[in-house]
Every structure is written in structure tokens, then in C-alpha cells.
Chains A and B, each alone.
Chain A
Amino acid sequence: QKEVEQDPGPLSVPEGAIVSLNCTYSNSAFQYFMWYRQYSRKGPELLMYTYSSGNKEDGRFTAQVDKSSKYISLFIRDSQPSDSATYLCAMTWITSGNTPLVFGKGTRLSVIA
């Protein structure tokens, strides 16, 4: 079982739809959970992060973590064509030293106008 599982899609939705992107993980030591957005032929950029369980909202984006189920989600409300990108979940744990990120494979999203 891979440490982080993410459905690669592609996912195609009409403009204005609510989008749900998800990752599951196996390592219960993960404490920080991130979502990176990657536009075509660009490097990833951090979209949101959450610590431990709970929800975090930023404009049209909501990140949700359920540590009991080892499941994280990213919701996009009122999706726009500009949201078309690949979304990568990433997670890591707490130590005193460097903590490398473990990435999911990414989900490719297309929002159709």
C-alpha cells in the first residue's frame, strides 16, 4: 500500500460546480496536510495547508482533514475555468529535523465554461 493515494482523474466539471478532491494515507504520523496546485507546464504552488484534524477555509477553497479515517479533502465552490489544473495533496510529520513532503500523484481537474 502506497503511503498516499490520490485518484489521478481526469475530473471534468461544468463552471459553477462544487468540486471535491480527495487523498487517503496510511501513515498515522502525518500531522501537516497540504494542497498544491500545478498549472500545465508550471511548477506546483501551495494552495492551502492544515495542521492535524479539522477544516480550513480560504475564499472558495475548503480543506478538510479526518485523521481517524486517514482521509483529506479539498472542496472548490463555484468552480471557474481558471481552476483547471492538477491538484496534488502532500503531507508530512513533525520532527526536529527536515521533514520531507510525501506527495500524492495529483488529480487533473478541468472546469468547462
Chain B
Amino acid sequence: NAGVTQTPKFRILKIGQSMTLQCTQDMNHNYMYWYRQDPGMGLKLIYYSVGAGITDKGEVPNGYNVSRSTTEDFPLRLELAAPSQTSVYFCASSPKGQGADTQYFGPGTRLTVL
């Protein structure tokens, strides 16, 4: 199993541009998550999904959109990129989404908005 894969690894955007961060998992997990990690600030939940067709906001959803048309894929869309969205973005998945259920993280996408 490849686990959780993310593309691209790096990206530089200009202010106002848009892009989609791709996330795919091959573990048949129902739950998927998008986090952002700013230096020294820990992980903040952007959006999560409990299954295909179902998504919900996390702690910091503004400026982002998600969709979940299949179990495997959970893309994150940035519209009108802003410098405040410069961060490292991690996608994660888990089987049950509760308690100590392990979240499996992808390698991250480093995004810079200039």
C-alpha cells in the first residue's frame, strides 16, 4: 500500500491565483482530513470528510473548499490565494474517526504565496 499520497510536493503561487492540492489514500478509510501546519503553530484542521459526499468544516476553513466524490480522493481547493495561506498542508486518513483511531498522514505539500 502507498498509504496517503499528496501532490504536488511544492508550489509557489501568486496572490489571487487558485490551485487544487490532491490527496489520495489506498487504505479504504472513510475519514479524511486536511490540516495546515505553520512554523511553531502545530496542526490546524481545515476540513474533514466522514465518507464520500460528506464534508464538514474544521477550525480554519476560510479560503478553502473541498469535495469528496470517491472514498480514495479528497482534494483541497484554494481560491484567490493569499500570503496568509503560505503553509505546509497535510492530508490524513483514518478508519473510524474516533478516539484513538490512528490518523495516517501524507508527506505534505509546501505552498508559498507571493
A: contact size bracket:
20 to 34
- Looking at the complex, which one of B40, B43, B104 makes contact with A103 (CB distance below 8 Å)? B43
Is the CB–CB distance between A51 and B42 below 8 Å? Answer: no
Interface range for B: 20 to 34
Interface string of B4-24 (1 = CB under 8 A from A): 100000000000000000000
Asked if A104 and B106 make an inter-chain contact with CB atoms under 8 angstroms apart, the answer reads: no
Q: Mark B88-100, 1 if CB is under 8 A from A, else 0.
A: 0010100001111
Bound-state Cα–Cα, A51 to B106, Å: 25
Q: 9 tightest A-B contacts by CB?
A: A43-B105, A105-B42, A49-B100, A98-B97, A103-B43, A32-B100, A103-B42, A46-B102, A32-B99
- Sample (23) of A-B pairs whose CB atoms are under 8 Å apart: A4-B42, A6-B42, A42-B107, A42-B108, A43-B90, A43-B106, A44-B43, A45-B104, A49-B100, A51-B100, A88-B42, A92-B99, A94-B99, A98-B31, A98-B50, A98-B56, A99-B97, A99-B99, A100-B33, A100-B58, A100-B59, A101-B45, A101-B103
